[in-house]
């Protein structure tokens, strides 16, 4: 495999261009987009395939690159020059190729529930193969699929093109089903079967943490030799600490009180992310006469369209509706301001393969209080950059939040250490490791 491979990146059920924090869009969207850009910075030609969800979407979106002479390859660039870069067999040294995002028609455009998507995977695979047919034979060097639905399409494409299939699960059904919230629906058996098939047929499996690598081996029978731990990155330039003046300015800009503790939850409003635990914890604090912080929920509904209304209704029942502020998901440019305005970022998730929000918050110098599950145990350095909470008992969460917010010296120490904890993660390192995984996955095919 060449040093700068041509990568078919599959993200079937959610587009990396979608706004994270609502519906099915979350950390995986950020992962696919940032990884693709980091790979392009190393000369890789990356094409992302995602299902078209509207007839208004362009067939292909070109994310800008840079020519070898330093001139931009963007919407204003000479189309012939862009085509020259994209169709060359080898990337000219110093060139950052544009990343292409292909919207592939597969099934009805109107929104489908994620559980209905297996029925359109054949159409998705056909669309991906048609796109490749317009290229010269042997164009792609590797297929990298994300989530099990993409893995099913990836199996077909990689087999047809005789290239390695590299798969990143992001979440696993058996792990989620072992930690369901009360009343939450389990992942269907068809997903478990689909994951088993993808695990069995992938040339390489990418786990975000050692814990996830163990789950792939023990729960899905993955060959340990094919499992590679590659930690996701965080944009250390976008998310950076600021001083007290900038933090105060962030609160003013967002209309938040200057004299009240602020706990931020950033993510999809769904049972898996468990924002209800935080609302119940606020109720515990109020009932016990302790100070109640302002909880800002930055996200939209996922799974059920009524999820946000249900959360606000719960706040009323718990007697803390005056202490819960729900806002829509923030853009990537807006998100640092929200982090800077918070005293603490809380992640009570019942399952997390990684937990990108925790890494971003720590990069911005904000302590994290997180459930001791999945990748959060890797990101949050307990007693140094934040607190890991065992279980989801609101009383325990109330005690941990009150204890940290009430100890300004400890809060300041965690804040000072948070950036150092996050600097372990960077997209450059992630891309470098993935290029090595691509090369290893291709080795058996060239013997």
8 A C-beta contact, residue 48 and residue 32: yes
The answer to whether 115 is annotated as binding is no
Provide the 8-state DSSP code for 382: B
Query: How buried is 229 (Cβ within 10 angstroms: 0-12 exposed, 13-18 middle, 19+ buried)?
Result: middle
Residue with tokens 């769904």: 270
The answer to whether 3 is annotated as binding is no
The answer to whether 13 is annotated as binding is yes
Beta bridge partners of 44: none
8 A C-beta contact, residue 163 and residue 137: no
8 A C-beta contact, residue 11 and residue 123: no
Whole-angstrom Cα distance, residue 381 to residue 87? 45
Provide the 3-class DSSP secondary structure of residue 150: helix
- For the chain, the C-alpha Rg in angstroms (whole number) is 22
Query: How buried is 255 (Cβ within 10 angstroms: 0-12 exposed, 13-18 middle, 19+ buried)?
Result: exposed
Whole-angstrom Cα distance, residue 331 to residue 295? 19
Provide the 3-class DSSP secondary structure of residue 162: coil
The answer to whether 20 is annotated as binding is yes
Residue 374 has which token pair? 């999945």
Whole-angstrom Cα distance, residue 311 to residue 269? 8
Query: E strand or H helix at 165, and its extent?
Result: strand 165-168
The answer to whether 382 is annotated as binding is no
Whole-angstrom Cα distance, residue 367 to residue 385? 6
Compute the Cα dihedral for 130, 134, 136, 140 and give only its sign.
negative
8 A C-beta contact, residue 153 and residue 106: no
Q: CA 261 → CA 282, 305, 320, distances in Å?
A: 12, 30, 15
The answer to whether 231 is annotated as binding is no
The answer to whether 102 is annotated as binding is no
Sheet holding 262-266, edge to edge: 324-327, 294-298, 262-266, 344-347, 368-371, 386-389
Q: What phi and psi values does residue 100 have, to the nearest 5 degrees?
A: -100, 135
The answer to whether 24 is annotated as binding is yes
The answer to whether 124 is annotated as binding is no
The answer to whether 27 is annotated as binding is yes
The answer to whether 176 is annotated as binding is no
The answer to whether 270 is annotated as binding is no
The answer to whether 43 is annotated as binding is no
The answer to whether 339 is annotated as binding is yes
The answer to whether 147 is annotated as binding is yes
E-assigned strand segments in 286-365: 294-298, 324-327, 344-347
Residue with tokens 């509207």: 54
Q: What is the DSSP string of 48-82?
A: EEEE---TTS-SEEEE-EE-TTS-EESTTS-HHHH
Task: State the binding site for Mg(2+).
Answer: 339-340, 342
Task: State the binding site for UDP-N-acetyl-alpha-D-glucosamine.
Answer: 19-20, 27, 268, 273, 352, 360
Task: State the binding site.
Answer: 13, 19-20, 24-29, 114, 147, 171, 191, 268, 273, 339-340, 342, 352, 360
Task: State the binding site for 1D-myo-inositol 3-phosphate.
Answer: 13, 24-29, 114, 147, 171, 191
């Amino acid at each position: 495999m060449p040093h700068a491979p041509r990568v078919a990146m599959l993200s079937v059920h959610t587009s990396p261009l979608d706004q994270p924090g609502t519906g099915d869009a979350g950390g995986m969207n950020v992962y696919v987009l940032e990884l693709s850009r980091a790979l392009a910075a190393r000369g890789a030609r990356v094409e992302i395939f995602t299902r078209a969800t509207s007839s208004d979407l362009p067939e292909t979106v070109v994310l800008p690159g840079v020519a070898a002479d330093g001139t931009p390859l963007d919407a204003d660039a000479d189309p012939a020059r862009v085509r020259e870069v994209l169709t060359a067999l080898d990337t000219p040294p110093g060139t950052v190729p544009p990343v292409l995002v292909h919207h592939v028609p597969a099934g009805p455009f109107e929104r489908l529930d994620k559980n209905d998507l297996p029925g359109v995977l054949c159409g998705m695979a056909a669309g991906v193969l048609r796109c490749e047919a317009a290229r010269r034979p042997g164009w792609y060097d590797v297929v990298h699929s994300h989530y099990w639905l993409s893995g099913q399409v990836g199996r077909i494409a990689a087999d047809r093109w005789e290239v390695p299939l590299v798969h990143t699960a992001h979440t696993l059904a058996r792990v989620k089903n072992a930690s369901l919230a009360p009343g939450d629906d389990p992942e269907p058996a068809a997903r478990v079967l689909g994951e088993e098939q993808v695990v069995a047929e992938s040339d390489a499996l990418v786990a975000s943490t050692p814990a996830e690598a163990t789950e792939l081996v023990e729960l899905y029978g993955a060959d340990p030799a094919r499992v590679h731990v590659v930690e996701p990155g965080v944009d250390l330039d976008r998310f950076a600490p600021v001083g007290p003046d900038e933090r105060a300015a962030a609160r003013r800009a967002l209309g938040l009180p200057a004299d009240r503790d602020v706990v931020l939850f950033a993510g999809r409003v769904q049972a898996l992310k468990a924002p209800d635990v935080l609302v119940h914890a606020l109720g515990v604090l109020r009932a016990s006469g302790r100070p109640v912080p302002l909880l800002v929920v930055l996200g939209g509904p996922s799974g059920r369209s009524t999820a946000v209304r249900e959360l606000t209704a719960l706040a009323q029942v718990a007697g803390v509706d005056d202490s819960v502020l729900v806002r829509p998901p923030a853009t990537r440019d807006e998100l640092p301001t929200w982090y800077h305005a918070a005293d603490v970022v809380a992640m009570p998730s019942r399952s997390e393969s990684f937990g990108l929000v925790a890494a971003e918050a720590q990069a911005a110098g904000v302590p994290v209080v997180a459930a001791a599950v999945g990748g959060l145990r890797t990101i949050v350095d307990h007693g140094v950059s934040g607190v890991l909470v065992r279980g989801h008992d609101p009383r325990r969460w109330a005690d941990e939040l009150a204890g940290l917010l009430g100890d300004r010296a400890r809060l300041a120490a965690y804040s000072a250490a948070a950036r150092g904890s996050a600097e372990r993660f960077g997209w450059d390192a992630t891309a470098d490791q993935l290029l090595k995984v691509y090369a290893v996955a291709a080795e058996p095919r060239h013997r």
